[in-house]
A and B are shown apart, each in its own frame.
Chain A
Amino acid sequence: MNNSYIIGIDIGGTNTDATLIDNQSHILFKCKTPTTSPLENGVRTVLQNIIKHKEVIPSAVKGVFVGTTHTTNALLENRDLYKVGVIRIAGHNPDTILPCFGWPQEICQSVFVGCITIDGGYECDGRSITPFVPSQVKEAASKLVEQGAESIAIIGVFSPIISDQETESAKIIQELFGQDFPISLSYHIGGVGFIERENSTILNCALKKPIGQGFRNLERVKSELGINCPLLITQNDGSVIGVQQAVNDPLLTISSGATNSFIGASKLTNLRDAIVVDIGGTSTDIGMVINGYPKRSIHNVRIGGINLNFPIPDVLSLALGGGSYISFDNESRIHIGPKSSGKNIFKEAKLFGGDKLTLSDAAAKIGCFHFSTGNIENVPISQESAHNIIRTATDKIEYCIQRMRGNRQDIPVIAVGGGAPLLENLKGVLLPENADVANAFGAALAEISGTIDTVVNLSNREETLNKLKEEATNIAIKGGADSKKTTIIDVQITPYHYMKNQLARVIIKASGPRHHI
């Protein structure tokens, strides 16, 4: 029974990493290749490597789990995003806060086309604010598309409680522009809280572009290699979803890269409480695991300067990685990043004959990084200067570790990612074996979750909720989660205030590690 495997893949901004694990979660093989555009070529390379080197029979692979920072990077680098038109279903015209208020200007300018407010929306007691007029949807959508919208976000007042006007609007728009026209409905994205839900819906629309075709191609590549198990995408909470859902709701995957590396670091070291520093090619992410799970921030969730309304791991990100460009100002002060050569490091860095001085050049010069190719004679700086550059980088990282640490002075620090050796000599920092593939390992360990989204009578509150929790747990276990380790990770209750019998929409999510195959 020892011949079944899981493959975990992490598609980072610089490298695509993969790990092959057995049913005891041991790493049997790992490999790395530069991330490609389109994404699937790099994924094909790592999958072929695994099959070739470990003589794995494709049918013995029971799951391919993919995590990626692709969506986050698309947002942070503000490229390859759909232009979004916004329809607010709100008969009273709540223009006191306009869409994208407080967003960073560059993202707002490249994403937001315009907003049209139409009649409809609900009061909290279920009355319409003004009657919904279907023809207004048609007019608004046509006008927004004329103005350049490539996708449409629809947000109705109190739609998390009554969603019919949003779904009807979607139908009308799809009749107009076809089934494939990208639309996001807000009731699907989040609960009560109009602005955060609107922000999330707009971003979800915009991110459909970078994630759409690329993710479908991943599935094709996997099948071409004869691997017939499902390809699943890891999401923000560390559990997995199917490709179709990831394409519909890319926002769910926006923090999966950080989640995977934090969980991977915790499992590599068997430390359940630790600070994790993931030094990649483009950026460094610093976060914390508590009891084996990434610490979440629930309030003040911000990505790229935009307020959102769903839990993600609490991460401090630094624009500092192996590929970061190094420059000196007039007073010979060292500047690292924020620009990085990213996946072009093997062309651009001095080490490889390029013309850009990068952090990797300095690290290789002092023997901290080791590359199989490249020549440190090409790096035109002194040992002393290289040491100074590395110290500047580690000082920046240490400062962030202190901020994340707060008053937990005794918590250990784990360094992972390709750049982990940078912290090798820092006191109290652990550098586990396989640190360079912590995020691909974390992806391979992704949990199985079960979600219940239903409307129930809560007059017998505790009993009803316990029953639903049990149902969610059972779905997770049926999906392959370990029955002993499955726990409830989220409970959202939205009461229908105007109805008798304490009716409420209840969303409960259970999640647990995979049961040994």
Chain B
Amino acid sequence: MKQITQSDLDDLAVGVAILGSGGGGDPSYRRMIAKQQLEKGGPINLLKFSELDSNSIVAPIGFMGAPLVSIERMPSTRQFLSIIPAVEKVYGRKIDALIATEIGGGNAFTPLIVAGKMGIPVVDADTIGRAFPELQHSTCNLFGISASPAVLTDIHGNTRVIIANDAFQIEQQCRLATVEMGSSALLCFYIMNCHEAKKATIPDSFSHGFAIGRSIRQAKESGANPIEALLEYSKGVWLDSGTIIDIEQSISKGFLQGNVLVKTETGIIKISYQNEYLVAFRDETPIISTPDIIAILEIETSTPITSESLAYGLRVAILGLPSPSIWQTEKGLELVGPRSFGYKFDYKPISKRLP
């Protein structure tokens, strides 16, 4: 068992902002919430599956909605306290541990905050390995775990329970509810037992997040190039660098959607996003696409920039990191490949796109 420290939270914030491919929400706000929780509330404990009783019930938890909303209309304590009792009431079982719905972005912190408030542990795992915009984009869905009943709470602590036929319809129903709840809601779904969770989730995702953050921090401390240190650890590539010259965005159907244009030495790179950066184009040709991870870092400080924090005039590096292997399978690509988001081309791994 690991007790989370304040400096773990700092490393994690950097690591998961990169894993989020621009989505999952800017970790800075959730990190502050987690830090205030550690400072004023109880400890937060992180377990491995092997340390969990085999009868345990595990609940993935995270925010759903537009990340921009979560940095302006911050969550309330009531919202965090309401969700687990509601889930227990619906399932008629005690929830023994939480995991992250997605390790990418601010949602990595969500189970840590709730766990601290409820006095239960978090398991070192998540159900995406990065961040994705919709609820069917989950390893639990690939492994046939039911997404119903899904439980949502709003900022006032009001709860909705949604039961639907499959993960796609859970997404549609929950999205409608989230829009009504102000385009951001706390969500708990794909509830499973420990045995199922071992099979259907991605293990060690928090450890991975800490390690990425640490690689950047240690490079900074030793005077090495932090971006190169990150690429070496994560086997990624440096696609290009330039200045942000336009950001086109809207909150639509509960998502933050748009395009960001980066002027580089050789031309313009357009990155399309739906919460997450999904595809980068040079001229009209895709140079990287989902499920590979696209990271935008401010070049001088190596700070990852999430989609709601994009700003005119920022000088940025655009990086590509390989996707978790499970999404590169045929079934995985059917769910999260470029065609599933409406693009008319096939996925080509980043390692094969570049010379």
Q: Which residues of A contact B (CB under 8 A)?
A: 90, 92-98, 101-102, 121, 123-125, 127, 129, 157-158, 192-195, 295-300, 311, 314, 406-407, 461, 490-493, 495, 497, 502
Contacts and interface: CB of A to CB of B under 8 A. Distances in A.
Nearest to B68: A192
A124 B301 contact: no
Interface stretch (B129-137, B248-256, B267-275): B248-256
B284 to A, nearest CB: 18
Contact of A296 (B79, B247, B313): B313
B248 A97 contact: no
Most buried by B among A92, A93, A158, A194: A92
A95 B76 contact: yes
Contact of B77 (A96, A123, A311): A96
B29 A195 contact: yes
Interface string B310-322: 0111100000000
A124 B303 contact: no
Contacts of B72: 124, 157-158, 192-194
Interface stretch (B31-39, B43-51, B95-103, B165-173): B31-39
Nearest to B154: A92
B305 A299 contact: yes
Contacts of B265: none
Interface residues of B, number: 42
A98 B71 CA distance: 14
A491 B312 CA distance: 6
18 contacts: A90-B73, A92-B73, A92-B156, A93-B78, A94-B74, A96-B36, A129-B182, A194-B71, A195-B32, A195-B71, A296-B313, A297-B300, A298-B298, A299-B301, A299-B305, A314-B300, A490-B312, A497-B252
Given A461-B248, A495-B250, A97 B300 contact: no
A192 B73 CA distance: 10
Contacts of A461: 248
A90 B77 CA distance: 13
Given A101-B36, A492-B312, A299 B303 contact: yes
Contact of A97 (B32, B183, B303): B32
Contacts of A193: 71-72
Contacts of A495: 249-251
Contact of B182 (A98, A124, A502): A124
B29 A97 contact: yes
B311 A124 contact: no
Contacts of B68: 124, 192
B64 interface: no
Nearest to A404: B300
B314 A298 contact: yes
A383 B10 CA distance: 47
Contacts of A311: 313
Interface of B: 29, 32-33, 35-37, 66, 68-69, 71-80, 113, 155-156, 179, 182-183, 225, 247-252, 298, 300-301, 303, 305, 309, 311-314
A256 B244 CA distance: 25
Contacts of B182: 123-125, 127, 129
Contacts of B66: 124
A299 B309 contact: yes
Contacts of B113: 96
B123 to A, nearest CB: 23
A493 B245 CA distance: 12
A123 B183 contact: yes
B108 to A, nearest CB: 16
A50 B182 CA distance: 61
A157 B73 contact: yes
Contacts of A90: 73
Nearest to B69: A124
B251 A497 contact: yes
The 7 lowest CB-CB distance pairs between A and B, nearest first, are: A497-B251, A94-B74, A92-B155, A123-B182, A96-B33, A491-B312, A92-B76
B252 A158 contact: no
Contacts of B35: 101-102
A96 B74 CA distance: 8
A129 B73 CA distance: 9
A93 B73 contact: no
A502 B249 CA distance: 10
Contacts of A497: 183, 250-252
B70 to A, nearest CB: 10
A318 to B, nearest CB: 18
B76 A502 contact: no
A158 B183 CA distance: 13
A72 to B, nearest CB: 21
A97 B301 contact: no
A226 B37 CA distance: 60
B76 A96 contact: yes
